[in-house]
């Protein structure tokens, strides 16, 4: 007797988003198993961020359904999705500049894990522990008392990730987490995200930096004009003619093939 199929952590079924006559995402379906890292790429205007907006609840779907652990969250509010276990890190740096690093993460931990209709006068000790753990995981412990406004770009990005981790998410959405960073800083964020995934958090990331995307993703999905152009492992990207023509280009395609081969070799040795 065949075993019942395990419920995916995230499922998007025939998801469509239109803005008047413009279709930003068209009849898109995919599933994500717990523990996976899905990398999403594609040209500007492909519908990547609109997809994140729908998954996180910032914009409603025109049609289709989204489920988290089998629960239909299609019409759930962004706050409700957050409390259900979904956290999102935005492309642009966000935060409370007048608060310290620790206070920023504390706000996320206190309000992001459960409804707080009547906030207490004291922060529960468990929340403090969660804040400290999140700061440790991204390497910001030593800068915990610095005002967020004084942080360099790399630390602002790590602060956003720390805030998301403080919510104890089951699913973490990262929208271009290494945009504008140097190669050394990209490697630093890759190490953090890689460890987050190794700790069991499911990750979906949008990224144009192919080295980062290939290094971290178990599976890659390329979008174009709101539709799925490719879905599979990173090693197949450079062999897909449409992906090379529309997105990578022939020179970059060869470099992606090399990076995918290097990653596969590292995993084999490991």
Predicted confidence (pLDDT) per residue in 9-37, tens digit = 999 999 999 999 999 999 999 999 999 99
pLDDT at 252: 64
pLDDT over threshold 60, residue 4: no
Please enumerate in sequence order all residues whose Cβ is within 8 A of that of 253, keeping only pairs 6 or more positions apart, or say none.
237, 238, 243, 244
Predicted confidence (pLDDT) per residue in 41-84, tens digit = 999 999 999 999 999 999 999 999 999 999 999 999 999 999 99
Predicted confidence (pLDDT) per residue in 168-226, tens digit = 999 999 999 998 899 999 999 999 999 999 999 999 999 999 889 989 999 999 999 99
CA distance 29 to 16: 9
Q: What does the DSSP 8-state code read for residue 246?
A: I
- The pLDDT > 90 percentage for the chain reads 70
pTM above 0.75, yes or no: yes
Segment 113-124 mean pLDDT: 64
- Residue 122, φ and ψ in degrees, nearest 5: -125, 150
Beta strands of 20-146 (E only): which ranges?
A: 22-32, 37-41, 63-68, 71-72, 86-89
Calculate helix-pair angle for 153-165, 183-198, nearest 10 degrees. Answer: 10
Angle at 227 between CA 223 and CA 232, to 5 degrees: 55
Residue 126: which region, alpha, beta or left (left: phi > 0; alpha: psi -120 to 50)? Answer: alpha
pLDDT at 2: 45
Half-sphere exposure of 60 (CA within 13 A, CB side): 5
Segment 98-118 mean pLDDT: 85
CA dihedral 186→197→10→40, nearest 10 degrees, is 20
- The pLDDT > 70 percentage for the chain reads 87
The tokens for 36 are 């996976």
pLDDT at 261: 67
Residue pair 55/31 in contact by the 8 Å Cβ criterion: no
Question: pLDDT grade, residue 6 (50/70/90)?
Answer: confident
CA distance 30 to 33: 10
Query: Beta strand 37-41 with 71-72: parallel, antiparallel or unpaired?
Result: unpaired
pLDDT over threshold 80, residue 268: no
Please enumerate in sequence order all residues whose Cβ is within 8 A of that of 124, keeping only pairs 6 or more positions apart, or say none.
none
pLDDT over threshold 70, residue 118: no
Residue pair 20/57 in contact by the 8 Å Cβ criterion: no
pLDDT at 213: 92
Predicted confidence (pLDDT) per residue in 223-256, tens digit = 999 999 999 998 888 888 888 888 887 666 667 7
pLDDT at 91: 84
Predicted confidence (pLDDT) per residue in 126-183, tens digit = 788 899 999 999 999 999 999 999 999 999 999 999 999 999 999 999 999 998 899 9
């Amino acid at each position: 007797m065949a075993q019942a199929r395990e419920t995916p952590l995230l499922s998007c079924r025939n998801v469509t988003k239109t803005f008047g006559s413009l279709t930003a995402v068209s009849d898109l379906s995919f599933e994500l198993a717990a523990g996976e890292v899905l990398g999403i790429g594609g040209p500007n205007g492909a519908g990547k961020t609109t997809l994140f907006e729908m998954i996180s609840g910032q914009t409603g779907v025109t049609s289709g359904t989204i489920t988290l652990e089998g629960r239909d969250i299609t019409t759930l509010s962004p706050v409700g999705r957050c409390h259900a276990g979904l956290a999102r890190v935005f492309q642009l740096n966000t935060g409370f500049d007048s608060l310290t690093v620790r206070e920023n993460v504390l706000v996320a931990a206190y309000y992001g894990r459960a409804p707080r209709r009547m906030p207490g006068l004291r922060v529960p000790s468990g929340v403090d522990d969660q804040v400290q753990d999140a700061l440790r995981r991204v390497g910001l412990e030593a800068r915990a008392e610095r005002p967020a406004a004084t942080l360099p770009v790399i630390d602002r990005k790590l602060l956003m990730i720390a805030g998301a981790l403080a919510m104890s998410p089951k699913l973490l959405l990262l929208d271009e987490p290494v945009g504008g960073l140097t190669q050394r800083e990209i490697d630093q964020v890759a190490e953090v995200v890689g460890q987050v995934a190794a700790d069991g958090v499911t990750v979906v990331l949008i990224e144009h930096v192919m080295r980062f995307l290939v290094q971290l993703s178990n599976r890659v999905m390329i979008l174009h004009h709101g539709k799925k152009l490719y879905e599979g492992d990173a090693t197949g990207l450079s062999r897909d003619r449409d992906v090379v023509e529309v997105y990578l280009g022939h020179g970059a395609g060869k470099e992606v093939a090399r990076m995918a081969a290097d990653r596969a070799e590292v995993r084999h040795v490991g």
